[in-house]
Amino acid sequence: MTQAEVIFATPFRLPKTSDLGQSVVVLDVAFCATGAKRSYEEITLPFIQTLGDRLKLWIDHHDHERNADWVNDHRFVLVSRLDHPACPELVTPERVQAAGRVDTIICHHDFDGIASAARFLRGGIDPYPGCEADARAIDSRVGQASERALRLAGALAVRHDDVLRRLVLGSLVNGRESSEQAKQIDRAFQSYKQRSHRAKMLAAKGELIGALLVLDHRGNKEKVDRTVALLEGQKRAPIALFLGDDGRLTLACDADLNLDFCEVFQTGGGMKNRVTLSMDRLDEVIRKLHSFQP
């Protein structure tokens, strides 16, 4: 079992390099896409350069136009999401061993990322039989996730704090939960189920604008799960468009559609079939996509 500190991150919110150890691994954290006030050049590249030789391994399965910059650097395992729908399957015993002694793991704070960190800590061995497949099902909708994974992923979708994330990590690494830990995860999962129900109701009332189903949640105080709303919306239209109260909009479509949001909206990276943009681009979104023909 590897002993290392685990730090949770996102592509646009990376930890300070001064807070990290001397041997760092990054798992399931994509290079930052271009957005308002953030980009690869402003966030990802300085992080890599400042870490220098302290960076031992970076594994990720998200497409980005700058992945090619690191193809000759053995530390980077950057693959297509199409080829690898989830990240844990890339965390092999051979790669864990090659990384050597590691004192810091940085991972994405969703189920896929935390399962990747758990697998690294376990020497490249799956936390439980089927976890690798569960990560694919939850992160890329390939297959059906188990009840165990749905519970943990649902809890993470509701509580965005490191306490809950560490509870999930511990559950995966150790294969057990104390009664109090289980209660916290169960409470969060129950909240997720309520938000999922409201998300389905929102999708049922969405407004069709050509190929778009508009899910307008602005001004609604009751929280919904955005991912569930988008998935339900895609049952009614080729493209689901979620309008949030946070000044952002999110687009999603089936991965099999011949549609690349990253290319259409010049984000520079991210998921081709799901993208989040600032709300001031709403008119542009409708103009470019309402007449899309699958």
Phi, psi (rounded to 5 degrees) for 5: -75, 135
Same domain, 25 and 138: yes
**E strand or H helix at 9, and its extent?**
strand 5-9
Q: Are residues 157 and 206 in the same domain?
A: no
Instruction: For residues 225-241, give the mean pLDDT.
Output: 97
Is residue 12 classed exposed, middle or buried when 0-12, 13-18 and 19+ CB atoms within 10 A define those classes?
A: middle
Q: Kindly report the CA angle at 12 between 157 and 104, in degrees rounded to 5?
A: 80
Residues 221 and 173 in one domain: no
Q: Is residue 188 in a domain? A: no
Instruction: Please give the tally of structural domains in the chain.
Output: 2
**pLDDT for residue 16:** 97
Residue 195 maps to a domain? no
Q: What is the pLDDT of residue 42?
A: 95
Q: Are residues 104 and 204 in the same domain?
A: no
Q: Locate 260 and state its tokens.
A: 């690349």
Q: Answer yes or no: do 215 and 142 share one domain.
A: no
Q: 113 with 257, same domain? A: no
Has residue 262 been placed in a domain? yes
* pLDDT the model gives residue 212: 97
Structural domain contains residue 122: yes
The reply to whether 165 and 221 lie within a common domain is no
Within this chain, do residues 227 and 173 fall inside the same structural domain, yes or no? Answer: no
Q: Within this chain, do residues 126 and 94 fall inside the same structural domain, yes or no?
A: yes
What the block records as the tokens of 160 is 């965005």
- In a 13 Å sphere around the CA of 91, the CA atoms on its Cβ side amount to 30
- Condensed to tens digits (0 to 9), the pLDDT of residues 11-40 reads 999 999 999 999 999 999 999 988 777 899
Q: What is the pLDDT of residues 124-183, one digit of tens each?
A: 999 999 999 999 999 998 999 999 999 999 999 999 999 999 999 999 999 999 999 999
The three-class DSSP label of residue 21 is coil
Is there a domain that residue 226 lies in?
A: yes
Q: Under the phi-then-psi rule, with left for phi > 0, alpha for psi from -120 to 50, and beta for the rest, what region is 263?
A: alpha
Task: Give DSSP secondary structure letters for 226-287.
Answer: HHHHHHHHTTTSSEEEEE-TTSEEEEEE-TTSS--HHHHTT-SBSBTTEEEEEGGGHHHHHH
pLDDT at 208 over 80: yes
Mean pLDDT computed over 244-256: 93
Confidence band of 255 (pLDDT split at 50, 70, 90): confident
pTM of the model: 0.91
Among 177, 208, 230, the domain-final residue is 177
What is the mean predicted confidence (pLDDT) over 215-229? Answer: 95
Q: Which domain holds residue 212?
A: 200-289
pLDDT surpasses 90 at 118: yes
The pLDDT of 46-59, averaged and rounded, is 98
CATH number at residue 222: 3.10.310.30
Q: Are residues 111 and 39 in the same domain?
A: yes
As a whole number, mean pLDDT of residues 97-126 equals 97
Q: Is the pLDDT of residue 122 over 90?
A: yes
Average pLDDT over residues 186-191: 98
Q: What is the mean pLDDT of the chain?
A: 95
pLDDT tens for each residue of 265-279: 998 777 889 999 999
Asked, for residue 192, whether it belongs to a domain, the answer is no
Q: Which pLDDT value is given to residue 1?
A: 76
Q: Are residues 121 and 244 in the same domain?
A: no
Instruction: With respect to residue 186, please indicate whether it lies within any of the assigned structural domains.
Output: no
Q: Are residues 30 and 151 in the same domain?
A: yes
